[in-house]
Chains A and B, each alone.
Chain A
Amino acid sequence: MSVASILVGRSGSIIRDGLLLASAVLMALTLWMVFFWVPTEASLGVSQRIFYFHVPISILALSSIIVVAIASIIHLITRGQKSDDLAYSAAELGAVLATLAIVTGATWAKPVWGVWWTWDPKLTLTLLLWFIYSGYLMLRAYGPKGSQGARYGAVIALMGAVNAPIIYYATELWQTAHPALLVGPAAESGSLDSDMALGLLASTITFFVLAAYMLIERYSLRRSETAIDALYQYVG
């Protein structure tokens, strides 16, 4: 039994319910930590708590395009429909996450920088990622259907995957207004207060569980949509 069939089958329903329950419980815990437990940053005040929403969502937005690219590569190699459905589902979720990352970032920028938006390299590249997601979804919606559309989409996804590490390292590559890296392989150890790091970890895990649930739900829906399209073709 493949992983895909487990996720959309009867046992998948249990997994999805479990993920939904886990995300609800974890979200309650995370909200308590964010609003009551983590210390308030000295210079930024309470607006720094936006960090616990903005950073995990941004990480997920970057991760999603990697998932789209990997699934697209698998599709290009195997020509399997399931990998293409996964790529499409991850792209759609990624578009939502990229939108949220940009909007939450702008809402944080206003009190800290005094402007909603600036053409900072990291921000501009994130906007480019949003356009890549939008381009992918528009291509799939209005472009060629079937395997040709999936192949074109894979090319866009690969462009997005190239963009993802550049976004991550943008603060290292250029002088930017955006804060330096606090998480990931290029972050300096001890750059974040231990309680804040714990709060960020909890928040990141929570959003990952929620995103996993939403991805599985969307994938399941996409599989059904594909099956119905096939039925339409059968009926004529």
Chain B
Amino acid sequence: MPYINMLVSTHRGRLVMVALALGALSLLWAGNVLAFEGVDRGEAQVAVVAQEQDSDPEANLPFLFAVYIITWGGFFAYAFVNSLRQREMQRELDTLKAVIADKESQSGAGQAE
């Protein structure tokens, strides 16, 4: 629970939540589209809708899904790398704060003497 609360409370966390929601939606759609047998768009669309072909028009579905997964995987990997950088930056900032506080206390002690 604390981990989920942390996710929801941070900006990056919200990004992760949106990513998970989109992932779930995409899985749902993937299931539907695998069972997809063509689009019923009426006579007006007949010219462009897939017609009788020598090969199965859906034979290349794995390539379509590969592109879909690669695209989203790429974007989310980049977002993840950026979130790791932000975490590292926060760590560096904490280190710097400690160093500056240490320096200030040392100079304060020097003035007191």
A residues with CB within 8 A of B: 13, 16-17, 20, 24, 27-28, 31-32, 35-43, 45-47, 49-50, 53-54, 57, 93, 96, 99-100, 103-104, 107-108, 110-111, 193, 195-196, 210, 214, 217-218, 221, 224-225, 228, 231-232, 235
Contact = CB atoms under 8 A, between A and B. Distances in A.
A103 B64 CA distance: 12
B93 to A, nearest CB: 6
B58 A104 contact: no
Interface in B12-46: 14-15, 18, 21-22, 25-26, 29, 32-33, 36, 38-39, 41, 45
A42 B33 CA distance: 18
Given A36-B39, A50-B64, A235-B103, A107 B70 contact: yes
B89 A221 contact: yes
A182 to B, nearest CB: 14
Interface in B47-75: 47-51, 53, 55-61, 63-64, 66-68, 70-71, 74-75
Contacts, number: 125
Given A46-B57, A47-B60, A235-B100, 17 more contacts: A36-B33, A39-B41, A40-B38, A40-B50, A43-B53, A45-B56, A46-B64, A50-B63, A50-B67, A53-B68, A53-B71, A93-B78, A99-B74, A100-B74, A107-B70, A214-B78, A228-B96
Contacts of B58: 45-46
Interface residues of B, number: 50
Given A13-B11, A104-B67, A96 B22 contact: no
Q: Name the prevailing secondary structure of the A interface residues.
A: helix
A45 B59 contact: yes
B99 interface: yes
A92 to B, nearest CB: 8
Contacts of B50: 39-42, 45
Nearest to B57: A45
Given A50-B63, A225-B89, A231-B96, A24 B71 contact: no
Interface string B62-102: 01101110110011001100100110010011001001100
A84 to B, nearest CB: 18
B84 to A, nearest CB: 11
Contacts of A108: 63, 67
